[in-house]
Amino acid sequence: DSRLAEKSAVDMVVAGKSAVDMVMAEKALDYMGFKGGEQLLGHPVDYIFLGSCTNGRIEDFRDFAGLVKGRRKAPGVTAWLVPGSKRVERQIEAEGLGEILREAGFVVRQPGCSACLGMNEDKVPEGKYCISTTNRNFEGRQGPGARTILAGPLVAAASAITGVITDPRELVNATGSDNANGSDNTTGIENTYNSKSANTK
């Protein structure tokens, strides 16, 4: 996540690579429908997947709900929010996160693998872009021809609201608040985002 706002698609794939790696990078860019130098921020997205054993924890749903509270999901975005376990599902409702998510236009689904590996009906259609909080994005992982962009829960939440790949700090800075009640949690969101980003370097 920390490099999302600073790197272009080609930078993130080919930096410091050999000639053979460059060929593979071009193949990857072609599969994803990106061009060299194209920025990821602002690129339209079709699907959002919050879940899997990587980011289906209660902490991930707290982060996601905290950012979308008082906002609405972009009309052209399909969102799959899948708890990592029945325990997490119960916690989501017990903490009132389910209500926040539903008011924002989201549906919390049954726990399971879902779109993580595209083994059921939760498949991303060919050529469509999905912001996914999973840890794998090889070709066809989320469905034949699916274009998966890995990100954390906060980037997924921000992108679900705007309909394009979005730095979550942009939403917080635009309002000075992370929820409908107007409480200022800018520092909290930024600290969460920055600390998680630092761990990915």
Structure tokens at 162: 């705007």
pLDDT in tens, 63-105: 999 999 999 999 999 998 989 899 999 999 999 999 999 999 9
Residue with tokens 């990821």: 40
Q: Which of 52, 75, 57, 42 is nearest to 155 (CA)?
A: 42
Looking at the domain that runs over 45-166, which CATH code has it been given?
A: 3.30.499.10
Burial class (CB in 10 A: 0-12, 13-18, 19+), 201: exposed
For residues 124 and 141, the answer to whether their CB atoms sit within 8 Å is no
Q: At what angle do helices 168-175 and 186-198 cross, to 10 degrees?
A: 160
Backbone angles phi, psi at 84, to 5 degrees: -80, -15
DSSP string, 149-177: EE--HHHHHHHHHHSB---HHHHHHHHS-
For residue 2, give the DSSP letter. Answer: T
Q: Give me the count of residues in the chain.
A: 201
Average pLDDT for the chain: 79
pLDDT, tens digit only, all 201 positions of the chain: 444 444 555 555 555 567 777 787 887 887 788 887 888 899 999 999 898 877 789 999 999 999 999 999 999 999 989 898 999 999 999 999 999 999 999 999 877 666 556 667 777 778 888 898 887 776 666 667 788 889 999 999 999 999 999 999 999 887 655 553 344 444 455 555 554 544 433
Specify the pTM: 0.75
φ, ψ of residue 189 in degrees (nearest 5): -65, -45
66, 49 contact by CB (below 8 A): no
Q: How many CB atoms lie within 10 A of CB 165?
A: 22
Beta-bridged to residue 44, according to DSSP, are 164
Q: How many CB atoms lie within 10 A of CB 38?
A: 15
Per DSSP, the three-state class of 14 is helix
Query: What's the CA angle centered on 125, arms 35 and 127, to 5 degrees?
Result: 15
